[in-house]
Structure formats: C-alpha cells, structure tokens
C-alpha cells in the first residue's frame, strides 16, 4: 500500500529535478559524453615480465576536452603522473594479482570519465620455477 503523501513527495522531487535541469543545464548524453576503456591488459590476463613492466593501452570514445589527461589507478591508488598518451607502461609492478582502472581527467583536475576495473596477474620467474621463461 502506498502512503497517502507518497505521490506528492515523488511529484515534488520531479519538480525539483526539472528546476535544477533548467537552471544548470541538462547532463551530458551518452552520445556526447567521453568514455574511457582499457584495451589492454585484458581482464584476468597474466602478464609475464621479470622487470614488472605492464603495457597499458586505453581507448577514449566521444568528445574529450583539449588538455585532458589519463590517470592510472593501480590497486585503487593513483600511479605516477597523469599521461597524455593512450599507451603507456606501468613499471616496477610487483608479482601477483592487481587491479587497474583509468580515468579521463579534465584540465582542472576533475574526473570526466572512469573505466571499468580490470584484474590482471603479473608473473615473474623465480627460483621455484627456473625452467619457465616468457
């Protein structure tokens, strides 16, 4: 059963939303908003690199403002300086399981878009597996 004042509250919230849209402009539509996607590494990929280098490639779809940069988040924390290039390398990553997310950052530092988080595994040779190579 719907409480007596529920429809009024829902209608009131709709009016507030419309007033906000009129005052501040409509939100960006998916066709015009920028999207950022991690092309590599792929989700659940194992990377073999004894030095801990992980090549990253991202794709930006839609309109990104001039001066936008790419921020990498390794295991939920910002990694290094923001990048201008959609291809870069994470260095000295420790062996094991890691998560990676990238963000499109505007000139003022605001996050314009975030990718989905991918999990990857870095495999490095060890004394336990001396005969295995890249």
Residue 54 is assigned to a structural domain of this protein: yes
Residue 89 is assigned to a structural domain of this protein: yes
The answer to whether 90 and 77 have CB atoms below 8 angstroms apart is no
Residue 129 scores a pLDDT above 50: yes
User: What pLDDT is stored for residue 50 in this prediction?
Assistant: 94
- CATH code of residue 95: 2.60.40.10
How many residues comprise the chain? 134
Residue 14 scores a pLDDT above 50: no
User: What pLDDT is stored for residue 126 in this prediction?
Assistant: 81
Give the C-alpha separation, 91 to 33, whole Å. 31
Domains held by the chain: number: 1
73: containing domain: 35-123
Residue 105 is assigned to a structural domain of this protein: yes
Residue 41 is assigned to a structural domain of this protein: yes
Residue 69 is assigned to a structural domain of this protein: yes
Residue 74 is assigned to a structural domain of this protein: yes
The CB-based long-range contact list for 107-114 (8 Å cut-off, 24+ gap) reads: 107/65, 107/66, 107/67, 107/68, 111/71, 112/34, 112/64, 112/65, 112/68, 113/33, 113/34, 113/35, 113/36, 114/36
pLDDT, tens digit, for every residue of 29-57? 444 589 999 999 999 999 999 999 999 99
């Amino acid at each position: 059963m719907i409480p007596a004042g529920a429809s009024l509250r829902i209608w009131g919230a709709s009016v507030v939303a419309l007033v906000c849209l009129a005052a501040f402009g409509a939100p960006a539509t998916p066709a015009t908003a920028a999207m950022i996607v991690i092309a590599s590494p792929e989700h659940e990929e194992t990377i073999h690199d004894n030095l801990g280098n992980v090549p990253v490639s991202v794709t930006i779809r839609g309109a990104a403002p001039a001066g936008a940069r790419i921020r990498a988040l390794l295991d939920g924390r910002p990694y290094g300086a923001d990048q201008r290039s959609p291809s870069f390398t994470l260095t000295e990553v420790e062996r094991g399981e890691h998560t990676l997310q990238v963000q499109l950052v505007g000139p003022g530092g605001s996050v314009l878009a975030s990718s989905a988080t991918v999990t990857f595994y870095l495999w490095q040779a060890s004394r336990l597996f001396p005969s295995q190579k890249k």
